[in-house]
Structure 1
Amino acid sequence: MAHEQSFAFDAEGTSVRPESRGQPDDLGHEPTHRFFGELLDRAGCDASAVLQLDVWRDSSHTHVAVAGTAPTAAFARVQAAYTRSAFEHAAAGMELYDAELRVLRSNAAALRIRGRTAAQVLHRPVADLDGSLPASRLLREVVQGPDQVAERFVSVPTKGAGHRVYRVTAMCLRDGGTVVGAATFIHDVTGESRSHAAERLLSAAHRRIGTTLSAARTSQELASTLTEDFADAVSVDLVDGILHGTEPPGAPLDASTPLRRTAFESPGGLDGVYAVGEPSHFLFPTPYTQVLGDLTARLVDPSAALADWLMHDAARAGALRAARVHSMIVAPLVHQDRVLGLACFYRGPRHPVPFDAQDLALVEQVMAKASAHIENARRFTREHTTAVTLQRRLLPRSLPEVTAVTTAHFWRPERRRTAWFDVLPLSSARVALVIGEVPEQGLDASVDMGLLRTAVTTLAGLELPPEEVLAHLDDVVPRLGLADTACGPVDTRTADERARCQYCVYDPVTGDLAVASAGWPGPLVTAPDGAVRELPVPRGPALGSGVGYETARTRLAPGSVLTLYSASLLREPPCDEPAARLRHAVAAAPGDAQGTCDTVVYRMMGGPRERGAAVLTAATHRLAGDCVATWTGSRDPAGVAACRRWVRERLARWELTDRAFATETIVSELVTNVLRHASGEPCVRLIKDGGLTVEVSDRSATAPHLRHARAQDENGRGLLIAAALARRWGTRYSDDGKTIWVEQDMTDADVI
């Protein structure tokens, strides 16, 4: 097209295109008016059109370049005037360069941006002017590269230690296929750039601050986020009580209130006065204490008038000088006029531009968000601490010392479940070992744990076998409404949202162990030789399912260690093989309950990931053969006297003659009751461990009744007399009858 071309005329009037290298153009020696007419025709213009040309002369040719076309002369005049005015009066900076990137023209806006006069700019290589506006690299890219237009953002320091941001658009100028120069358009986008930077920072703060309910972690997230593009270093100090969930103090903060450094971040390698985790102190009067007094964020210039406040804090003054800090923001962490702590933002060599009022406003927005998250973390810590304290109080403070087992335990609260355990002495030297958990954490879960443990203790006192204990618990759980607020009604919960329990009964006389499970992994048994096996306990459903349970029974060798553990010990990726590691741990200390418990804790709960768990270990023992004596009589009433003689002889052998009268009386009354009111032969068993237990068994399933006979009644006082002479008494049932047991305390002398 004609308007995209330029032409040259030699001295004889022959037109020559620059790219033809002196060869005559096809217009030849046509007269000038016919030449321009031909140009109009080639441009596709009608008879009234105007062709705009640029004409210049060198030593050998007169050059004509098509500047453009216009439909009318008036349009052409306006277009030409616009081209001149737009360049000179444009708000954006505009510059033109020749092919060697020397400045040919620079408008007033561009000169203001560069801070130079036209004489200092025109005809100079643009590379020499990069100090005022770095544009030479971008211009070389568009002139030498494939892209004819490119855009960059450049930052230019100002005299006031600030900076301006410009968007520079560079354009390559061509005449046909020849590069004849370049142009730039320069827009001041400082405000827009700061707005985008602020939006990015606020967006990052929204995503990254407050991801956990930990005040210390939130502090670190705050420091990490604001040291990426905003500050050279950030420190966060919280009121020490905040980390423990205590109520934050009001302003002004008392000088005696302890603070603790919870975060310090410095990508540039600056050193903080205090290490993370150490107590932090701020001397008065300094900007730190002023902020903690009036809760107003401040811009601080540490070099202003030698910063008189630094004279009171030599350690901090030295750190600021070593880090070459030139600007600071000190801002409070506040929630509802309560002081949570303090955050300090420092700029040094990495950010030469000092903080200003816009930065201060941005910090206040971020601090408001961080303060809300820290307050949420504090409240969570307070509630969690209260719940854990309640759980610890609901757990047995010290496990009872029994003859049957030597126990050890470990308990740490879990994040999502509440585990508990218990050791319950039963009749006849037996013991029940219980471990369980309820869903969720918190105060509601702590109450649920207490209710469930109370229910188990009550059921254990009824001398029920393990499967019946769990069956009764299964009935009780829906009525208790455990954690209804968190998990919904019991019948709508998944198995993982229900309470779980395992109940074991160990008899030291026979070494028999009976175990029933409601959604709990089977216990591990470590034999005296170190061999480990998992008891094949039928794993019933979690409590509240309305399904029955089964009991697994086995006989343990003396000195075996029983390990009950919460399922959280095994909640790991399969590749970690936690079950195998648990087996190795319980095998490390055969015969030692405490050693087994310690090894499980050290091996299964070590490392950086803290998690909760409950572990209960029990080293089983057998009663010595001479501590148990059995007598079986006949239905003949005369046998009662023979039984009394047998009791006296046995107690004399045990050196318990001071208990003879009471024990004879108990045995006589209970055997007589069997002969009168029950069936089968009476069977008497004496067990001596921590106390003296008398058992009388028969073949009847009728329940004994404690009567309070009237003065004129001749009988009905047998069980009442036995209960009066005992520490406690009860009845347990078996498949072939019942057993009435009576325990006496051997610490008191026989007073009868």
Structure 2
Amino acid sequence: MAHESSFTLDDSGHVSSWRDPTGRYPALSADPVGQPAGRLLSDLLDHLAAEVDAPAPAALLLTVGRDGTETVVDIRGTARSLRAAHVEAAFEYSAFEQSTAGLEVYDTELRVLRSNSAALAMRGRPAGDVLQHRVADLGSRLPLAAVLGQVLDGSEPAVQDKVDGHDGHDHPRVFAVTAFPLQDEQQTIGVGAVIHDVTEQDRDRTAAHLLAQAHAEIGTTLDAMRTAQELAGVATREFADAVSVDLIDAVLQGAEAPAPPVGTDVPVRRAAFEAPGELQPVYAVGEMSYFVSPTPYTQVMADLTPRLLDPHTSPSDWLMHDAARAGALRDAGIHSMIVLPLSSRGRLLGLASFYRGPRHPIPFDTLDVGLAEQVSAKACMHIENARCYTREHTTAVALQRSLLPRTFPELSGVTTAHFYTPGSRQTVWFDVIALSGARVGVAIGQVPQQGVDASVTMGRFRTALDTLAGLDLPPHELLAHLDDATGNILPAGARPQPGVLPATADSPRCLYAVYDPVTGELAVASAGWPAPLVTSADGDVTTMDVPVGPPLGQGASYDVSRRTLAPESMLTLYSQSLLEPSARAEERMAQLRQAAHHAAHDPRATCDSIVHSLLGQHPGDGAAVLAVLTHRLPADSVATWTGSREPAAVAESREKAGHQLEDWGLEAHAFTTEMIVSELVTNVIRHASGNPTVRLIRDRSLTIEVSDEAATSPHLRHARAQDENGRGLLIIAALARRWGTRYTPNGKIIWVEEALDEDDT
């Protein structure tokens, strides 16, 4: 331990002065001044032995030096024995000289007073070229002047910092330095420093941090362009001054990546460019980028081997071949670059180029190439996933569009228009269906998920609904039957378990409406779908009061809402995604109603107005809008009468039908129509209850309807040769384009359609 006591000797060896500022030795036998040095040392040893109760003679650790004409002896410390003193002295020497850390001692002028072998190796100089020289004059291999100067300023008791140096081959090195003041009586008399070469640890720590950032931030979406931009953003923080990513254009479209060698004739698109410094891109993000051959870029495309080079001194002198890039790199002071292939399964997805300039003065080396490969491998995996997703999504969208109606039937009762955009999590579908009696069925729905399987499921739902609509079921009954069929329509893994309700967010949904242009009645039922908007001819927009039932597949029943629409009313059906996000549902509903108000008389304008107002950015779940402008059939296009149950009613109905066809100018259809009316009225009188009611509708076809109050339905029979009856419906089926049965709350309607020529309509 340091006692800070000292004495001086004159030329005769006597004590000329004594200092004991700590009062460590108060009980010396006499005043030391004037005594021989040996007497003082003996008294000090006696005092020390008594103090520590040493079994053997204690030892003093002294430092002896000359100060002018005087000999100065400092008491540096004590030891319990002479052997212990030898050990402590050996430890001090060995610890300093054999330490793997660099150790140096400096005076207040920052001259090196002592430097161990580790520090000399870091400096690359022998002791004679280091000792007694100022630190600032020893070169840049170990630049400590700034750190040591902070200690002399006295602002910190010790300073810990990292300094950038280099080795004898100009390879960068990083040193961790701990510098501390050396004091005597609270006065700084020098500086000590402990120096560690932490180049590898620092590099490993930086690499681990970069890889952690890459793992956390690269590949957040199934978008190849976004993934490329994430790669560039991560790499330009601590690794590179600038990064550019160029992807094969076909890969961005979902096509298979080409196998090497890939020539310059393969289109490449700039996917990302990040440069916090002065480097300006030759090609903007999104533009086609071109590589001139031969350059490192084209070489990497040919053999999928990374290139590390200095663009100013490359032996291939490639700058001659790509003047545009060469100029940009030269102007930005780029001194080092890595060109990497982005590949998957041996096929080229694109190129990633890393550049270093003024912001990173240390050039890339082979270890940096390996690190860049690890970071880029993360991007490659997600770019390949994005490519596969794009390919599947493109296929799924094409399949969806092929399964949706390309054109709607031309109907007198409605004029329609639609808008559709595929989604990322839902598959939306819609349809307009011609029904009997000039009525129109309108459907819109969605199935969960997106992709080829979801597209197939959507097609199955649409087919099932079209089939059920052909049975002339009212909307609520149709949805009930569709609900029953959902378990068989959905893929096996998505089918609801018996007694277990599926998650509503992942359940198929549907709305079905039937419009009658003769009466203007609209009947609507909903399975988890938002109620439609109704816009009157003068622009008033209301939401139809429709009881929204649960999604399909839950074994539920559904209610129907009926409303008589004024002529030329607009019916707007829309997907729930138009109202997302849910936090803005009220605001977006107001926008939707306003858009419907602005285009009250034109279905196409209604769709355009909604798209312009709400779809500046497409909703993630896709969107669909179906606008239906409703019309009424002219009153003179419908004729209705009710006959009696007397046999004479058959002839009367036949005669009235003939007169009505004559009024319409359809005399050519009189024979067929009269036969059909005769047969249907006869069936009512013979096999049903209630009086027969006949209705003729002249539209794009001629419809004959005969209603009664019975719930039984006739069926087609093939009578034998000897049978006297049973051929009526068989004859009707042969004469008509189509026929069927439609049930009403009071009974049923048998309807028959005859085709009309264009001149007849």
> Aligning the two structures, in what range does the TM-score lie when normalised by the shorter sequence?
over 0.9
After alignment, is 630-639 or 152-161 more displaced? 152-161
The 1-side partners of 2:716 and 2:604 are apart by 43
Specify the alignment match of 2:483 in structure 1.
474
User: Shift of the alpha carbon at 1:17?
Assistant: 4.2
Specify the alignment match of 2:4 in structure 1.
5
The 1-side partners of 2:618 and 2:368 are apart by 37
1:562 aligns to 2:565 (yes or no): no
Query: In 2 relative to 1, CA 84–706 (structure 1 residues): closer, same or farther, beyond 3 Å?
Result: same
1:648 aligns to 2:658 (yes or no): yes
What one-letter code is carried by the residue in structure 2 that aligns with 1:593? Answer: P
User: Shift of the alpha carbon at 1:147?
Assistant: 4.7
1:331 aligns to 2:340 (yes or no): yes
Q: Is the 8 A contact 1:6 1:63 kept in 2?
A: no
Q: What do the CA deviations read for 1:539-586 (whole angstroms, capped 9, x no partner)? A: 111111112111111111112211111111122142562222222222
User: Shift of the alpha carbon at 1:709?
Assistant: 2.5
Q: Is the 8 A contact 1:4 1:175 kept in 2?
A: no
The 2-side partners of 1:712 and 1:528 are apart by 60
Pick aligned residue for 1:705 from 704, 709, 715: 715
Specify the alignment match of 1:66 in structure 2.
75
Q: Is the 8 A contact 1:235 1:343 kept in 2?
A: yes
User: Shift of the alpha carbon at 1:39?
Assistant: 5.1
User: Shift of the alpha carbon at 1:129?
Assistant: 5.2
Specify the alignment match of 1:279 in structure 2.
288
Specify the alignment match of 1:715 in structure 2.
725
1:16 aligns to 2:19 (yes or no): yes
Specify the alignment match of 2:532 in structure 1.
523
Specify the alignment match of 1:344 in structure 2.
353
Pick aligned residue for 1:382 from 386, 391, 412: 391
Specify the alignment match of 2:415 in structure 1.
406
What one-letter code is carried by the residue in structure 2 that aligns with 1:29? Answer: D
SS at match of 2:350: strand
SS at match of 1:7: strand
1:636 aligns to 2:646 (yes or no): yes
Q: Please, what TM-score do these two structures have when normalized by structure 2? A: 0.92
User: Shift of the alpha carbon at 1:178?
Assistant: 3.3
Q: Is the 8 A contact 2:4 2:22 kept in 1?
A: no
SS at match of 1:714: coil
Specify the alignment match of 2:103 in structure 1.
94
User: Shift of the alpha carbon at 1:95?
Assistant: 1.2
Q: Is the 8 A contact 1:10 1:60 kept in 2?
A: no
Q: What do the CA deviations read for 1:408-460 (whole angstroms, capped 9, x no partner)? A: 11111221111111111111111111111111122221121111111111110
The 1-side partners of 2:749 and 2:43 are apart by 135
Q: Is the 8 A contact 1:8 1:61 kept in 2?
A: no
Pick aligned residue for 2:467 from 423, 447, 458: 458
1:485 aligns to 2:487 (yes or no): no
The 1-side partners of 2:149 and 2:313 are apart by 43
Gap runs ≥5 in structure 1: none
What one-letter code is carried by the residue in structure 1 that aligns with 2:4? Answer: Q
User: Shift of the alpha carbon at 1:708?
Assistant: 2.3
Q: Is the 8 A contact 1:6 1:175 kept in 2?
A: no
The 2-side partners of 1:119 and 1:588 are apart by 93
The 2-side partners of 1:488 and 1:200 are apart by 46
Q: Is the 8 A contact 1:201 1:226 kept in 2?
A: yes
Q: Is the 8 A contact 1:516 1:538 kept in 2?
A: yes
Specify the alignment match of 1:228 in structure 2.
237
After alignment, is 731-740 or 435-444 more displaced? 435-444
SS at match of 2:552: coil
Q: What do the CA deviations read for 1:492-523 (whole angstroms, capped 9, x no partner)? A: 52111211111111111111111111111111
SS at match of 1:65: strand
- Counting only pairs closer than 5 Å after superposition, residues 89-488 of structure 1 correspond to structure 2 as 89-116=98-125, 118=127, 121-126=130-135, 131-145=140-154, 147-157=156-166, 160-304=169-313, 307-480=316-489, 482-485=490-493
The 1-side partners of 2:107 and 2:50 are apart by 31
1:584 aligns to 2:564 (yes or no): no
Specify the alignment match of 2:35 in structure 1.
none
Query: In 2 relative to 1, CA 270–486 (structure 1 residues): closer, same or farther, beyond 3 Å?
Result: farther
User: Shift of the alpha carbon at 1:167?
Assistant: 1.1
User: Shift of the alpha carbon at 1:9?
Assistant: 5.0
RMSD, aligned CA: 2.7
% same residue? 54
Query: In 2 relative to 1, CA 423–61 (structure 1 residues): closer, same or farther, beyond 3 Å?
Result: farther
User: Shift of the alpha carbon at 1:170?
Assistant: 1.2
User: Shift of the alpha carbon at 1:697?
Assistant: 0.7
User: Shift of the alpha carbon at 1:615?
Assistant: 1.4
Specify the alignment match of 1:729 in structure 2.
739
The 2-side partners of 1:185 and 1:51 are apart by 28
Specify the alignment match of 2:36 in structure 1.
none
Query: In 2 relative to 1, CA 336–25 (structure 1 residues): closer, same or farther, beyond 3 Å?
Result: same
After alignment, is 139-148 or 403-412 more displaced? 139-148
The 1-side partners of 2:234 and 2:523 are apart by 57
What one-letter code is carried by the residue in structure 2 that aligns with 1:617? Answer: A
User: Shift of the alpha carbon at 1:487?
Assistant: 7.3
What one-letter code is carried by the residue in structure 2 that aligns with 1:259? Answer: V
- How many corresponding residue pairs? 746
After alignment, is 645-654 or 329-338 more displaced? 645-654
User: Shift of the alpha carbon at 1:668?
Assistant: 1.6
User: Shift of the alpha carbon at 1:234?
Assistant: 1.4
The 1-side partners of 2:21 and 2:707 are apart by 127
Q: Is the 8 A contact 2:423 2:620 kept in 1?
A: no
User: Shift of the alpha carbon at 1:742?
Assistant: 1.0
User: Shift of the alpha carbon at 1:217?
Assistant: 1.4
Specify the alignment match of 2:87 in structure 1.
78
Q: Is the 8 A contact 2:52 2:80 kept in 1?
A: no
The 2-side partners of 1:255 and 1:14 are apart by 90
After alignment, is 36-45 or 708-717 more displaced? 36-45
User: Shift of the alpha carbon at 1:125?
Assistant: 4.7
Q: Is the 8 A contact 1:149 1:172 kept in 2?
A: yes
Gap runs ≥5 in structure 2: 33-38
Specify the alignment match of 1:52 in structure 2.
61
Q: What do the CA deviations read for 1:315-361 (whole angstroms, capped 9, x no partner)? A: 22222222332222111112121221221122222222222111122
The 1-side partners of 2:352 and 2:710 are apart by 78
SS at match of 1:435: strand
Q: What do the CA deviations read for 1:341-399 (whole angstroms, capped 9, x no partner)? A: 22112222222222211112222223333222221211121122212211111111112
1:619 aligns to 2:622 (yes or no): no
Query: In 2 relative to 1, CA 379–486 (structure 1 residues): closer, same or farther, beyond 3 Å?
Result: farther
Specify the alignment match of 2:706 in structure 1.
696
Q: Is the 8 A contact 1:55 1:62 kept in 2?
A: yes
User: Shift of the alpha carbon at 1:59?
Assistant: 5.6
The 2-side partners of 1:541 and 1:214 are apart by 35
User: Shift of the alpha carbon at 1:18?
Assistant: 5.9
What one-letter code is carried by the residue in structure 1 that aligns with 2:186? Answer: G
The 2-side partners of 1:178 and 1:26 are apart by 28
Query: In 2 relative to 1, CA 425–243 (structure 1 residues): closer, same or farther, beyond 3 Å?
Result: same
The 2-side partners of 1:330 and 1:44 are apart by 74
The 1-side partners of 2:608 and 2:3 are apart by 89
User: Shift of the alpha carbon at 1:128?
Assistant: 5.4
Q: What do the CA deviations read for 1:247-285 (whole angstroms, capped 9, x no partner)? A: 122111244322211111111131222211112222322
The 1-side partners of 2:653 and 2:379 are apart by 80
SS at match of 1:304: coil
Query: In 2 relative to 1, CA 598–566 (structure 1 residues): closer, same or farther, beyond 3 Å?
Result: same
Q: Is the 8 A contact 1:103 1:124 kept in 2?
A: yes
